[in-house]
């Protein structure tokens, strides 16, 4: 008699599971599905399928084992009627998971024959028919399910959605209205009604309905998320996110709230920056290891992930959607299951990754092939090719293609290297080291966060596949370049070779007057750097040098940003800001979100003693400038980015202390941590201590 071991599902899904199972030589390893057993066969020959059975009643003592190691463990005629129904239920689930919908319908129909009133069986059969594309039969079973159990609110919502999908919008509305009259206090029905109104372009009515629900049920997370999708004003959306955060602050709510952040993709919205401080605090100070690990998994990747498949296995840095198997000769195959149009690899801890790249050495493939960044259910950027001879670089949000470049393309013979690179506000695509398009494509502000990965895709189910030889993914440090006053034409010429490595430009355009006020206008030649940054998709963050009074009025500062239509600014201060001033600035930014950095240093930074004069023809300049142009050797500059919208620096910390990389310094000096921001100074002679970009 052999020992059989069944591990928790979370362990079985780990890429290192074969190594763990190998420690138990001689034992059988129980897994959930035949597909998983086949997948593990090269490394675990004795993998068997486990069937989970119902707890026995007094009349079913022959089922005294909760886990049966094979479906043939007991003859069917020896099972009680309840056990036979449970066996049909489980067999139907297994068939459904494998994409064999006919078999699933057959098993569940046997269950329904034994128990004609089973609402679960009716619901599952309807779902399987819908997966087969037979919406009429699916609707029939959904209708029978509601007739058997009229109070099923979620089934009523699913039936209404199916009716709308079939073009019966009025009938869908009547279904929802009926249940709203019978269950007027049920929030799920109210949310479904509001979503129906929104799909009918009645957004104002939908929003009013959800706002009322949020006021009456402030603890309802689903209602707040529904409201978020109906709000257009950035300030309102941030306030809604803050209300969601309040739901997770209670000690007993912090683990469930963390799980909700993941399942509801709440970290993929631009307003998710509201959560950054909370996530960092929970990762450091969570009350137990489970809580710390959960929140730490949300923090962005800090190291390079490389898979060359020499061992035939996938590293733990990736999550596979399924349909993955190892091949000989160091290839790894992604293949869609028979019910899938797509199968993917998703990089762990990539949702909040900012600048970086994914590079894939691709062997043969079938269908489309895409490399993704910032992917979620409502947005993504991607680089890849189709089956019709075109290659694409695209940004999507809420089903709309917002920015893209496309060109005819013939795939080179043999294997090839594809690379998607994200830097600043742009993305670039490369094949075999050559950039495919003339310049980067813009990443719209609403596509702020999401996971990175790769995926083959085909419209025909079960066709998509790709063989991968190697994958590399690495976060890149945010690179901010300080640009002193000078000739912008010469500066553009000096910066052009480095555009692929610059995240943000910080031109010294605004110098505070001795009375604490700011100039009303930007420099006359500011448009040159504006055009340069816009073309190369580099974020432009003009420096506001607060040499006299650091605590400028936050409201006036934000109004100044708004008036000049800037994405944000860098506020250079001589002293640390007070907590009250930071709170006031954050409150002002709630209404008009902008990307604001604080740089704290006594040094002038601009390496020119008459910065104000050169900037605006004015003579006022802080006298200390002449004595302290640059930070002393080893001196660090404190850098803080306020978390509004799509940040430039990965949100691992609230504040950083970094050196200023000046001309003549070591351009290749590495950091142990790949996400420590880099601060560069463009010299007055046009030199820049930045390594050559890819």
Domain boundaries, the chain: 74-150, 305-475, 479-681
Residue 477 burial (CB < 10 Å; 0-12/13-18/19+)?
Answer: buried
| Coil, helix or strand at residue 646 | coil
DSSP 631: P
In the predicted model, is pLDDT for residue 211 greater than 60?
yes
- Pairing status of strand 655-658 against strand 434-435: unpaired
Which pLDDT band, with edges at 50, 70 and 90, does 100 fall under? Answer: confident
In this structure, whether the domain defined by 305-475 belongs to CATH 3.40.640.10 is answered with no
Q: What is the pLDDT of residues 343-382, one digit of tens each?
A: 899 999 999 999 999 999 999 999 999 999 999 999 999 9
Neighbours of 487 (CB within 10 A): 14
Q: Which two tokens stand for residue 555?
A: 């409201």
pLDDT for the residue numbered 49: 52
Which pLDDT band, with edges at 50, 70 and 90, does 81 fall under? Answer: confident
Higher pLDDT, residue 417 or 169: 417
In the predicted model, is pLDDT for residue 383 greater than 50?
yes
134/529 Cα distance (integer angstroms): 58
207/230 Cα distance (integer angstroms): 6
Q: What is the pLDDT of residues 429-439, one digit of tens each?
A: 999 999 999 99
Can you tell me the mean pLDDT for 455-462?
89
Q: What is the pLDDT of residues 232-266, one digit of tens each?
A: 888 899 999 999 999 888 888 889 999 999 889 99
The closest alpha carbon to 688, from 424, 525, 486, 423, belongs to: 486
The closest alpha carbon to 439, from 540, 539, 536, belongs to: 536
Cite the DSSP H helix spans in 275-378.
Answer: 276-285, 289-296
Lowest mean pLDDT among 169-183, 185-199, 304-318, 525-539: 304-318
**Whole-number percent of the chain with pLDDT over 70:** 83
301/543 Cα distance (integer angstroms): 29
In the predicted model, is pLDDT for residue 86 greater than 50?
yes
Q: Which fold has domain 74-150?
A: 1.25.40
Higher pLDDT, residue 74 or 435: 435
3/26 Cα distance (integer angstroms): 8
Q: Which of 180-194, 404-418, 622-636 has the highest mean pLDDT?
A: 404-418
The CA angle 363-369-375, to the nearest 5 degrees, is 130
Which pLDDT band, with edges at 50, 70 and 90, does 14 fall under? Answer: low
pLDDT for the residue numbered 482: 95
In the predicted model, is pLDDT for residue 271 greater than 60?
yes
567/442 Cα distance (integer angstroms): 14
| Alpha carbon 647 to its chain's center | 14
Q: Which of 66-70, 134-138, 512-516, 546-550 has the highest mean pLDDT?
A: 134-138
CA distances (Å), 210 to each of 240, 285, 544, 545, 674, in order?
A: 12, 35, 41, 44, 43
Q: Which two tokens stand for residue 609?
A: 């003693």
């Amino acid at each position: 008699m052999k020992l059989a071991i069944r591990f928790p599902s979370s362990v079985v899904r780990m890429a290192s599971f074969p190594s763990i199972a190998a420690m138990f030589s001689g034992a059988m390893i129980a897994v959930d599905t035949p597909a998983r057993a086949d997948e593990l066969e090269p490394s675990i020959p004795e993998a068997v399928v486990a069937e989970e059975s119902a707890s026995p009643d007094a009349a079913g003592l022959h089922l005294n084992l909760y886990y049966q190691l094979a479906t043939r463990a007991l003859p069917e005629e020896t099972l009680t009627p309840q056990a036979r129904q449970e066996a049909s239920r489980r067999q139907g689930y297994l068939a459904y998971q494998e994409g064999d919908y006919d078999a699933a319908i057959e098993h569940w129909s046997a269950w329904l024959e034994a128990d004609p009133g089973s609402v679960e069986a009716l619901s599952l059969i309807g779902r399987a028919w819908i997966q087969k594309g037979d919406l009429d039969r699916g609707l029939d079973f959904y209708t029978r399910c509601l007739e058997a159990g009229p109070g099923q609110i979620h089934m009523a919502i699913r039936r209404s959605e199916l009716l709308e999908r079939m073009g019966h919008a009025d009938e869908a509305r009547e279904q929802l209205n009926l249940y709203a009259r019978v269950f007027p206090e049920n929030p799920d029905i109210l949310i479904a009604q509001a979503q129906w109104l929104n799909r009918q372009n009645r957004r104002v009515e939908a929003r009013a309905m959800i706002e009322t629900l949020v006021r009456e049920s402030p603890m309802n997370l689903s209602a707040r998320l529904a409201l978020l999708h109906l709000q257009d004003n950035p300030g309102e959306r941030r306030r809604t996110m803050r209300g969601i955060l309040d739901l997770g602050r209670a000690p007993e709510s912090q683990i469930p709230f963390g799980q909700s952040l993941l399942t509801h993709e709440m970290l993929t919205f631009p307003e998710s920056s509201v959560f950054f401080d909370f996530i960092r605090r929970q990762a450091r100070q969570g009350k137990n290891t489970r809580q710390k690990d959960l929140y730490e998994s949300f923090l962005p990747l800090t190291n390079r992930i490389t898979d060359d498949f020499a061992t035939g296995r996938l590293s733990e840095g990736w999550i596979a959607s399924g349909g993955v198997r190892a091949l000989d000769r160091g290839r790894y195959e992604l293949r869609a299951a028979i019910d899938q149009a797509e199968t993917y690899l998703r990089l762990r801890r990539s949702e909040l990754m900012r600048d970086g790249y994914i590079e894939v050495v691709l062997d043969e493939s079938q269908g489309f092939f895409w490399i993704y960044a910032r992917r979620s259910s409502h947005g993504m950027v991607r680089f890849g090719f189709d089956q019709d001879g075109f290659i694409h670089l695209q940004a999507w949000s809420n089903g709309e293609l917002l920015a893209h470049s496309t060109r005819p393309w013939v795939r080179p013979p043999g294997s090839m290297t594809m690379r998607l690179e994200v830097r600043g506000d742009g993305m670039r695509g490369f094949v075999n080291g050559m950039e495919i398009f003339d310049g980067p494509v813009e990443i719209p502000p609403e596509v702020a966060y999401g996971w990175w990965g790769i995926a083959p895709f085909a419209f025909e189910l079960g066709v998509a596949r790709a063989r991968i030889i190697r994958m590399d993914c690495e976060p890149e440090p945010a690179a901010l370049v300080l640009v002193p006053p000078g000739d912008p034409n010469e500066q553009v010429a000096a910066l052009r070779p480095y555009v692929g490595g610059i995240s943000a430009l910080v031109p010294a355009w605004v110098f505070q007057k001795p009375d604490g006020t700011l100039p009303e206008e930007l420099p006359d030649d500011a448009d040159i750097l504006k055009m340069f940054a816009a073309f190369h998709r580099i974020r432009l963050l003009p420096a506001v040098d607060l040499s006299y009074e650091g605590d400028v009025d936050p409201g006036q500062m934000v109004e100044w940003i708004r008036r000049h239509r800037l994405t944000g600014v860098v506020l250079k201060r001589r002293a640390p800001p007070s907590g009250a001033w930071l709170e006031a600035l954050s409150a002002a930014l709630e209404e008009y979100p902008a990307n604001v950095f604080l740089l704290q240093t006594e040094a002038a930074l601009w390496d020119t003693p008459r910065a104000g004069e050169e900037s605006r023809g004015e003579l006022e300049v802080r006298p200390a400038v002449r004595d302290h142009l640059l930070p002393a050797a080893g001196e660090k500059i404190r850098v803080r980015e306020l978390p509004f919208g799509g940040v430039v620096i990965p949100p691992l910390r609230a504040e950083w202390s970094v050196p200023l990389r000046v001309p003549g310094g070591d351009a290749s000096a590495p950091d142990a941590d790949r996400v420590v921001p880099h601060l560069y100074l463009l010299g007055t002679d046009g030199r820049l201590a930045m390594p050559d970009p890819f």
